[in-house]
Amino acid sequence: MNYDVKGNKVTGLNIAYIGGGSRGWAWGFMKDLANDPQICGTVRLYDIDISAARRNETIGNKISAHPNAISRWKYTVADSLQQALTGADFTVISILPASFKEMRSDVHTPERLGIYQPVGDTVGPGGFMRAVRTIPMYREIAQAIRDYAPDTWVINYTNPMTLCVRTLYEVFPGIKAFGCCHEVFGTQKLLCAMLKENTGIEAERHELYTTVTGINHFTWLTSASYKGIDLMPMYADFASKNWQEGYDEGGDLNWMNSSFRCAQRVKFDLFLRYGAIAAAGDRHLAEFVPRWYTMTPETVKKWKFGLTTVDWREQDLANRLKRSDDLISGAEEIDLAPSGEEGHLLLKALLGLGDLVSNVNIPNYGQCPDLPLGAVVETNALFGMDRIQPVYAGNMPKGVLPLVARHVQNQENALRAILDGDRKLALATFMNDPQMGNVGLEDGKKLFDDMLEAQKAYVPKGLLG
C-alpha cells in the first residue's frame, strides 16, 4: 500500500475502476468520494469501451472540481488491466457482460416455454446464460489481479454477483474480494416504514440491526430490531395485514409506474410460508422459487410487481448516454447528491478509518453453518483495517434452507461447468433451476442451445453442442 495515513485521514489512494465507463453507478461513486473528507487520491478508469472511460474521466474530474467538493480526486484512463491494477489499493468492478442484445435472449427466449423472468440476471435460464459469458471475463480479471495487484481489495458490483465473486476466489484463492448489493437496504427501509406506521418512530435504516443470511438476491433476515424493539413480531402482523393488497408507498414509488418497484406481496407471502423476511425486491425473489409468482404475465400482475423488459433497459441506457453528453457539455449541471450506496464507507473501514458492520458477499467460512464452506454467501461482516470478518448468522430457517441450498449447489455446478467447458454438467445444471419446473429434456436442451447460440461469441469451448 502506497497511501499516507495521518490523523484519521488517508491521502494518495489508488483506485482501479474496471468497467469505468459505467453510466450511472460510477457517477454516484464519484460523488460519494467527492463528499468524503477522510480520503483522497486517484481513480484509474478502465473499460473495454475506452471512449466511455474517457467520457467518465471528464465527468469525474468535473465532479471533483465542483466548488462544494470536499475531497478533490483525480480521474485518469488506463489502457489495460495491467495499467489499471498496478499499484491499486482498491479495485472496483462494475461491468455489463456483453450487451443488451445478449440480455434480450436471456430474458425473453425462455418465454416460449412459459418462463417469465422479471430480471433474468441472477438465476433461472437467463441468469445461467449471463454467467456463461461473465465467468470467463472474471477469470481474466482474477488472473490480472493475481499478476498485477495481489494485495488490492476488490469490490464487485456486477451480476450475477455470487458467481462473479465465486469465480474471483476460484481462480485466485488469495484474492481479497467482496460483493456489494443494495437489495437488503430496500427491505431495511421497508422495516423503517413499518416502524413509523406502527409507532410513529422515524428511524434510519442504519439504526436497525438485521441478521442477514442467504445468497445475493435471495437473502433472508432472521432477526430485526431497533433500540430494544423486536421488529419480527411487528413484521408478522404487517405481513398478514398487507399480504392481500400489498404495501405500496404511493406516488412515484408505486409499483405500477416502475419496473423496479413492487408491492411486497411476494415478500409477505414468503414470510407467511417460512417465517423469515426475504430481503430483496420481489422481482428478484420470484425468480428463486418455482413459478409460483410468474406462471403467466397475469400471475405477475396479481402479485403486483413488474417484468423488466429489455426494451425498457435499452431506452434507459439511451437516456443515460444522453445524460452523459449533457454532463460533459454542461447542459446538465453537476450535483453532489450522495448515492445511498455504502461502497466508500466500506473502503474507509478497510483503511482503518472506522469499523463497520454491513452485509456483504464473500465465501462461506462458516458464517452460514448449513451451507458448504467456500460457496459465496451474503451475511453481515465486520469491516475494519485490512480485514473483513464474517459475523456468524446462525442456522437458516429450516423451510428456507432447501430453497437456498438448491441454488448454491446449482451455482457451484455452474461455475465448474463453465470454467471447465463441461457441456453435460452445464445442461444438467440449467435443467435443475426451479424456473425450469417440469420442462422435459428435449425442450430444455433446445432452449439451452438456442440461448447459447444467441451469445455464441462469449461461450467457452466445450459448452456448445
The catalytic residues are 182
**CB-wise, 144 or 234, nearer to its own copies?**
234
Minimum distance from residue 144 beta carbon to its own copies (Å): 26
Between the CA of residue 164 and those of 3, 131, 154, 207, 232, what are the distances in Å?
Answer: 28, 8, 11, 30, 32
**CB-wise, 317 or 425, nearer to its own copies?**
425
- CB 134, CB 162: distance < 8 Å: no
Separation of CA 79 from chain center: 26
**CB-wise, 261 or 265, nearer to its own copies?**
265
Between the CA of residue 134 and those of 275, 293, 409, 454, 460, what are the distances in Å?
Answer: 35, 27, 19, 14, 10
**CB-wise, 22 or 429, nearer to its own copies?**
429
Minimum distance from residue 223 beta carbon to its own copies (Å): 6
Distance CA 276, CA 268 (A): 10
Minimum distance from residue 227 beta carbon to its own copies (Å): 5
Distance CA 214, CA 203 (A): 25
**CB-wise, 61 or 432, nearer to its own copies?**
432
Minimum distance from residue 110 beta carbon to its own copies (Å): 14
Residues in the site for its own copies, rule: CB under 8 A?
A: 5, 8, 10, 209, 211, 223, 225-230, 269, 273-275, 290-292, 295, 351-353, 355, 357, 365-367, 369, 380, 382, 384-387, 389-394, 398-399, 401-403, 405-406, 409-410, 412-413, 416, 424-425, 427-429, 431-432, 436-441
**CB-wise, 97 or 363, nearer to its own copies?**
363
Backbone angles phi, psi at 435, to 5 degrees: -65, -25
As given in the structure block, the three cell numbers for residue 232 are: 419480527
Distance CA 17, CA 33 (A): 13
Minimum distance from residue 373 beta carbon to its own copies (Å): 9
Minimum distance from residue 433 beta carbon to its own copies (Å): 10
**CB-wise, 340 or 366, nearer to its own copies?**
366
Between the CA of residue 193 and those of 188, 208, 214, 267, 448, what are the distances in Å?
Answer: 9, 12, 24, 15, 42
Burial class (CB in 10 A: 0-12, 13-18, 19+), 315: exposed
- Angle of helix 124-148 relative to helix 161-171, nearest 10 degrees? 40
The stretches of 182-309 forming alpha helices (DSSP H) are: 183-199, 231-242, 265-274, 282-285, 297-302
Distance CA 376, CA 181 (A): 13
Rg (CA), the chain: 22
Minimum distance from residue 290 beta carbon to its own copies (Å): 5
Nearest CA-CA partner of 32 in 345, 451, 381: 345
Q: Within 10 Å of residue 56's Cβ, how many Cβ atoms?
A: 27
Cell 469451448 maps to which residue?
A: 461
Cell 402482523 maps to which residue?
A: 237
